[in-house]
A = this chain, B = another copy of it.
Amino acid sequence: MSGEELATAGHPQMVRQRLRLWLKLLKATKLVEATIRERLREEYDTTLPRFDVLAALYRFDEGLKMSELSAALRVSNGNVTGIVERLALDGLVLRVPVEGDKRATLVRLSKKGRDRFSVLADAHAGWVGAILEDLPPSDCERMIAILDAVGHSPKLTGKVSKEND
């Protein structure tokens, strides 16, 4: 397996084009992300990681275990610990013990958290809709299809990629 990426070195202009695409992809994504982070901060005094946690929990009324949450967000366990800690201080999430397993904790949205998230989610959707306003639906669709293919590439960090998106 080692050195396998050099196999494509025989097509230098293709590699160059893909590199160009990657750099543009990264740049565009970071630009949009920075915009969203800034608005979350300025208009709602919150952050993207907190929003992500709320979004994940919003889909599960019963709540999620810490490990399920970190798996859903694809971040480390330790990371989620801190974010949930801060959300709990704000009263947006609740940590309830799991019946019959003293190790685990279930995290779920409080009423306040649910209300808060629905406001944030609306704003977020509006921002994204506006940022991508000039993108023709056909381009949008095309890009979604291409990205699906990229996401399912087997070259990414061993196996990966369930069918959920």
Contact between A131 and B156, CB atoms less than 8 A apart = yes
Q: A21-B143, A21-B144 are in contact. List 18 more A-B contacts (CB 8 A).
A: A4-B130, A6-B126, A14-B129, A14-B137, A15-B126, A17-B137, A17-B140, A18-B132, A18-B135, A19-B129, A21-B147, A23-B165, A25-B32, A25-B147, A27-B151, A35-B156, A130-B155, A139-B146
Contact between B132 and A5, CB atoms less than 8 A apart = no
Distance in Å from the Cβ of A149 to the closest Cβ of chain B?
Answer: 7
Known: A31-B160, A132-B153. A15 touches B165 (CB 8 A): no
Which 8 A-B pairs have CB atoms at the shortest separation, nearest pair first?
Answer: A5-B126, A5-B130, A15-B129, A18-B132, A29-B29, A24-B147, A8-B129, A22-B128
Which residues of chain B have C-beta atoms less than 8 A from A129's C-beta?
5, 8-9, 14-15, 18-19
Which residues of chain B have C-beta atoms less than 8 A from A22's C-beta?
32, 128, 131-132
- Size range of the interface on A? 35 or more
Which A residues lie at the B interface, using CB under 8 A?
A: 4-9, 14-35, 38, 74, 123, 125-135, 137, 139-144, 146-151, 153, 155-157, 160-161, 165
Contact between A155 and B126, CB atoms less than 8 A apart = no
Distance in Å from the Cβ of A73 to the closest Cβ of chain B?
Answer: 10
In the complex, which of the residues B6, B74, B134 contacts A153, with contact meaning CB atoms closer than 8 Å? B134
Which residues of chain B have C-beta atoms less than 8 A from A32's C-beta?
22, 25, 150, 156
